[in-house]
Amino acid sequence: MTTNAALVGIDFGKLDFEASLQELDLLTQSAGATPVVTITGRRRSPDAKLFIGSGKAEELRDAIAEFDVELVIFNHALTPGQQRNLEHLLQRRVVDRTSLILDIFAQRAKSHEGKLQVELAQLQYLSTRLVRAWTHLERQKGGIGLRGPGETQLETDRRLLGERVKSLKARLEKLQRQHDTQRRARQRSGTMSISLVGYTNAGKSTLFNAMTKANAYAADQLFATLDTTSRRVYLGDVGNIVLSDTVGFIRELPHQLVAAFRATLEETVHADMLLHVVDASSQVRKEQMAEVNAVLAEIDAADIPQILVWNKIDAVPELAAQGPRIERDEAGRVTRVFLSARTGQGLDLLREAISEAVVAGTGGLQSQHEAPDVRLIDRWDDVPRAEDR
């Protein structure tokens, strides 16, 4: 039995408001709930008490009764106080965008490392919200063992949570040292490392499977892949490379996840080259590319040379008509490769582009900082976009 959810989004003047709401709908479904009503509004700034204001809160309460809503999901980050006030008014569980993404990650994590990373992110998020997790926080309890004499339940919870966080960080650091050892071994062998990066559901895992003949899980859903998978790929004259598939990015990716998944993202940070996979069929691809580059900058990977891989050209009639191709800048450097990982069109061109970069030692590529126009300006030459026709 699914949970009926009400979605709430407030337009603060951002250009991608509608796309963000659609994304929230997909995130909600990915988490296992069913969106039954969406409440929207416009504000200059969030209300300090309820985020949405008292009038919109009453509208939300009426919708909850009408549509038998069990869960309210905000497309924003709520403060602990706002979340507590909303739950008291609505008498329903309220979660924000950060909590929703964390829940999806918790469901999708399969490897031991992935589960540790998600748990760490959840505990770091929970640490700011312990005040709303209990009704008995200020009850003094004496005793021995876990809690000291006179220690409140809140202090106990904080202490136990802190100890668990410390333990998780120590275990993740051990795993990171193992990754470092494996990475140094690859470097000694002279093997080039390439990481797939991109917005969630851009088709990274499908491309990874097509390039490596692997069987990594790939699905048309958000965050289908959480764990980094690496495989060797033979590229003829240039020999073997190591290709890694990484977790997808998303707008407003919770900082707790970026921090917790730093060990996973280390493959990106230490890559010799990035294949930035873009969903060519998305009408907000520019914004998605910007979000990916923002996270890359946060993890100190912005200066790594990139090849933009425009995937899913088979879903865009104008691009499908042109077919797969390599695009270069005025200096002859590869900037974009147009392909379809699902059909296999253009995979040979991507291998050609990678081989060219390997031979040139990636000096024939551009980093994000060197070519912001290539990264953020959406140009199809003289090909009209479907939404403009």
What pLDDT is recorded for position 225? 55
For tokens 């990481």, what's the residue? 195
User: Which pTM does this prediction carry?
Assistant: 0.72
Of all residues in the chain, the percent with pLDDT exceeding 70 is: 76
The confidence band for 372, taking pLDDT boundaries of 50, 70 and 90, is very low
Mean pLDDT of 24-34: 91
What pLDDT is recorded for position 187? 61
What pLDDT is recorded for position 269? 72
Report whether pLDDT(324) > 90.
Answer: yes
Taking only the tens place, the pLDDT of each residue in 162-216 is: 888 888 888 878 877 876 776 566 566 567 889 999 998 899 989 999 998 866 5
Residue 115 identity (one-letter amino acid)? K
What's the CA gap between 194 and 280, in Å, rounded? Answer: 21
Mean pLDDT of 48-67: 95
What pLDDT is recorded for position 127? 78
Taking only the tens place, the pLDDT of each residue in 74-90 is: 999 999 899 999 999 99
The confidence band for 293, taking pLDDT boundaries of 50, 70 and 90, is very high
What's the CA gap between 185 and 227, in Å, rounded? Answer: 21
What pLDDT is recorded for position 65? 95
DSSP state of 51: B
What pLDDT is recorded for position 147? 44
What pLDDT is recorded for position 222? 57
Mean pLDDT of 63-72: 95
Tell which phi-psi region holds residue 324, choosing left (phi > 0), alpha (psi between -120 and 50) or beta: beta
Residue 37 · residue 72 · CB < 8 Å? no
Report whether pLDDT(287) > 70.
Answer: yes
What pLDDT is recorded for position 347? 95
What pLDDT is recorded for position 376? 35
Report whether pLDDT(145) > 50.
Answer: no
H/E stretch holding 208:
helix 204-212
Residues 6+ apart with CB under 8 A from 236: 355
Taking only the tens place, the pLDDT of each residue in 81-136 is: 999 999 999 999 999 998 898 888 888 777 787 788 788 888 888 877 765 444 44
Mean pLDDT of 7-36: 90
Report whether pLDDT(370) > 60.
Answer: no
Radius of gyration of the chain (CA): 23
Report whether pLDDT(143) > 50.
Answer: no
H/E stretch holding 197:
strand 192-198
Strands across the sheet containing 325-328: 229-234, 240-245, 192-198, 273-279, 306-311, 334-338, 325-328
The confidence band for 384, taking pLDDT boundaries of 50, 70 and 90, is very low
**Could you tell me the two tokens for 20?**
């963000």
What pLDDT is recorded for position 176? 74
What's the CA gap between 241 and 206, in Å, rounded? Answer: 18
Report whether pLDDT(42) > 80.
Answer: yes
Q: Which residues of 73-95 are buried (b: 16+ CB within 10 A; e: fewer)?
A: bbbbbbeeebbebbeebbebebb
Q: How many CA atoms lie within 13 A of 188 on its CB side?
A: 6
Report whether pLDDT(377) > 60.
Answer: no
The confidence band for 49, taking pLDDT boundaries of 50, 70 and 90, is very high
As a whole number, the mean pLDDT across the chain is 80
